[in-house]
Amino acid sequence: MNDPATRIYAAIAAIPRGRVASYGAIAARAGLPGRARLVGRLLGEVPDGMELPWYRVLRSSGHIAMPPGSRGFREQSRLLRAEGVEVKNGRVPLSRFGLDGDLDHALWGMPPM
């Protein structure tokens, strides 16, 4: 599994239901730190027949990358909400729904309220 595309697609496929990851986090998990733009490009080139949870990939700020109000934006919001992910004004709170949020919680416990 040396091919960067294969590694990136595997990292996207591994995002569990109800969780999200940034383009940069996917690149890092694929062993390609700093290659967030490559992740975005490859998401636009997914081979026919390959099903990926593309909608679980967001900007590092937690924002949906598509233009607000666009068909893709609405579809991504709908799919995330269907999995119980909070989307408000096109943004997901990564501290609650991001993959790394689980690691922080496991290491440090619940954040103070």
Give the tens place of pLDDT for each residue, 77-97. Answer: 999 999 999 999 999 999 999
CATH numeric code, 4-108: 1.10.10.10
String of DSSP letters for 78-91: HHHHHTT---BTTB
**pLDDT at position 104 over 70:** no
Q: Scanning the structure block, which residue is given the tokens 């290491």?
A: 107
The structural domains of the chain, with segments of one domain joined by +, span: 4-108
pTM: 0.86
The confidence band for 112, taking pLDDT boundaries of 50, 70 and 90, is very low
